[in-house]
Amino acid sequence: MSDDRRTAATEPSAECVSDFAVVGTDTGVGKTVVTTGLVGWLRAVGVDARAVKPAQTGYPPDDDAGYVAEACETDDAATCLERLEPALAPAVAADRAGVDLSYESIRDGCARELADAAVGVVEGIGGLRVPLADDREVVDLVADLSVPVLVVTRSGLGTLNHTALTVEALERRGCTVEGIVCNEYEGTSVAERTNPDVLAEMTGCPVWTLPPLALEDPSDAVAGLREHLPTDAFPKA
C-alpha cells in the first residue's frame, strides 16, 4: 500500500506495535534493509523506534546501526553494543581480536535498549546458529529477550528448506514468529512465484514479498518498506 493510500488510523503506533527482532536465514539476506525500513517507518509517523545491533563484525566498513541512523538522519534511531573488526561470527571475531565478549552484557544491553525506546527492534547477526558469546548463539539471545520475530529470507530456489528450519528452530525455543519477508522478490522463476504460498502453508506464518530496492541512499529502504509491506508486518503489542 503506497503512502498516499494510508490514513493515520492505518499507520503503526507505539501503542499497537511490540518490540521485536528481525532475524535472517543467513548472512546477506536483507535483515538490515528490513530493519532500517521498519524503524524508519515508525519514526516517520512519530514513534520513538530504535534499532539495536547486539554486535557488529567486519567493522569497518560494515556498520548496520550506522546505516539505520543515516536513513533516519539521527543517531537516536540505532545503537550497536559491540563492534569488532574481523568479518566473522561475533564469538570467533572476539577471540581473534582478543576481546572479552560477554553474552550476559549483550543480553542485558539489548534489554536495556528495548526498555528505553517506545519500540525496539533487535537485528540479528547472520543466521540463528551464529556463535555470539560464551557458547550462546543468536537464537539464545532472541529467546532470552522474549520478543516476537520477523524472519527475512531469500526469494528463490532453496529458500523453503532454510526458512522452514529457521521458523522451526525459533518455535522450538518458544519464540513467536510473526511473519516472513521474502526479500528481493521478482517472480521471474517458478520457484519464486510459488515459494510465498508454499512457505505460508509449511510454516503457518504470514508471508510478504519485498522487491529489489534501488537503495541509492539508506533512506530508500524506508520508502521501499512503506510502499511494499503492509502495516500488518509490524508485530502487535
User: Which has the closest alpha carbon to 110: 44, 38, 19?
Assistant: 19
Q: Is 195 annotated as a binding residue?
A: no
Preceding peptide of 61 cis, ω within 30°: yes
Q: Is 40 annotated as a binding residue?
A: no
Q: Is 209 annotated as a binding residue?
A: no
Alpha-carbon dihedral of residues 140, 93, 24, 133, nearest 10 degrees?
Answer: 0
Angstrom distance (rounded) from CA 66 to CA 1: 28
Whether 236 sits among the annotated catalytic residues: the reply is no
Which residue's C-alpha cell is 521471474?
Answer: 188
CB-based burial label for 172 (10 Å; 0-12, 13-18, 19+) = exposed
Q: Is 58 annotated as a binding residue?
A: no
Q: Is 33 annotated as a binding residue?
A: yes
Which residue's C-alpha cell is 539489548?
Answer: 110
Q: Is 236 annotated as a binding residue?
A: no
User: Which has the closest alpha carbon to 209: 192, 223, 221?
Assistant: 192
Q: Is 127 annotated as a binding residue?
A: no
Q: Is 211 annotated as a binding residue?
A: yes
Q: Is 61 annotated as a binding residue?
A: no
Q: Is 24 annotated as a binding residue?
A: no
SS (H, E, C) 76-88: HHEEECCECCCCC
The angle at the Cα of 71, spanning 66 to 74, to the nearest 5 degrees, equals 70
Q: Is 126 annotated as a binding residue?
A: yes
Q: Is 183 annotated as a binding residue?
A: yes
* Ramachandran category for residue 176: left, alpha or beta (phi over 0 → left; psi -120 to 50 → alpha): beta
Please tell me which residue in 43, 50, 53, 107 is annotated as part of the active site. 53
Q: Is 46 annotated as a binding residue?
A: no
Q: Which residues are annotated as a binding site for Mg(2+)?
A: 32, 64, 123
Active site residues: 53
Q: Which residues are annotated as a binding site for substrate?
A: 57
Q: Which residues are annotated as a binding site?
A: 28-33, 57, 64, 123-126, 183-184, 211-213
Q: Which residues are annotated as a binding site for ATP?
A: 28-33, 64, 123-126, 183-184, 211-213
